[in-house]
Every structure is written in C-alpha cells, then in structure tokens.
C-alpha cells in the first residue's frame, strides 16, 4: 500500500498538497487556491478528491450549510508524503542530504525563526534526542 501511495499522479498530489496547506476545504476552496498553478474545473477537483479518498488519503464530511462536502487530509496522507519525499530524495539527490539542503536553501532562504527551529532539530539529532526515537 505504501508503494501505491508513493505513486500519486501529479494532479492528485497537487490537490492533496493544497488540501494539506488549507487543512480543511471544499472543492471550490481547492479549485480557487489552485487556479494560478493548475486551473481545473470543479468536477475535476472532485474526481481527484474522490480518488484520494479511495486511497484513504483524505476524508470528507457534509458541510454545515448547503450541499458541499468539506475535505481534510487523513493521517495516512502524512505517510504518503513521507514516501514521496523519500523517492524524490533518492532520485534527485541520490540520498545526499547536504546537496538536498543546499539546493533547498538556495531556492528559499529560511527566516530567522526557521533557522532557530532547524538548529534545535540539528542539536537534538546530534545528541540523540530526535522525535522519532532514531
């Protein structure tokens, strides 16, 4: 199943990424948010959300008003992102952490607060206190 989730098509990945960023959204919310990046009809967004729901990567509930559904990323979506990132990391950087981080920071300079958070993460990793227990 993890292999299936790591092979999410680009359009589904974009919809899921948008939903993760929004945390909770209707089809219209997602369509509007993606309009500049990947313009789609509402029916296309709904189809992609239904596929993601079938993969158990999103959940939905009836909106408080009207006929719309409100979608949320599921807990499984975090595992899918992890698989996608591992695949990307291996394919693009051949597992080279320093090359990955250098490329990332050349693309987007972190804020001072992010640097502090990253430093804390590095300090925790160095002392063996990582959150995942590794």
Could you read off the pLDDT of 71-91 as tens digits, one per residue?
999 988 877 777 777 877 888
Kindly list the structural domains of the chain, giving each domain's residue range(s) and its CATH number in brackets, ordered by start: 2-76 (1.10.10.10), 96-134 (no CATH)
Say yes or no to pLDDT of 134 above 70. no
> Coil, strand or helix: which one is 94?
coil
Please name the residue that has the structure tokens 């408080």. 64
Length of the chain: 134
Measured at the alpha carbon of residue 5, what is the angle toward residues 13 and 52, in degrees to the nearest 5?
55
Contact 45, 56 (CB under 8 A): no
The answer to whether the predicted template modeling score (pTM) of the entire model surpasses 0.85 is: no
- Dist. CA 89–CA 122, nearest whole Å: 19
């Amino acid at each position: 199943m993890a292999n299936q989730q790591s092979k999410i098509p680009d359009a589904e990945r974009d919809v899921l990424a948008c939903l993760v960023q929004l945390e909770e959204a209707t089809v219209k919310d997602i369509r509007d948010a993606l309009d500049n990046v990947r313009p789609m009809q509402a029916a296309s967004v709904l189809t992609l959300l239904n596929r993601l729901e079938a993969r158990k990567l999103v959940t939905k509930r009836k909106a408080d008003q009207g006929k719309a559904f409100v979608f949320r990323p599921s807990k499984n979506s975090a595992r899918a992102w992890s698989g996608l990132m591992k695949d990307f990391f291996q394919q693009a950087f051949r597992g080279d952490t320093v090359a990955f981080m250098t490329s990332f920071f050349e693309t987007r300079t972190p804020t001072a607060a992010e640097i502090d958070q990253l430093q804390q993460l590095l300090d925790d990793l160095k002392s063996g206190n990582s959150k995942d227990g590794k």
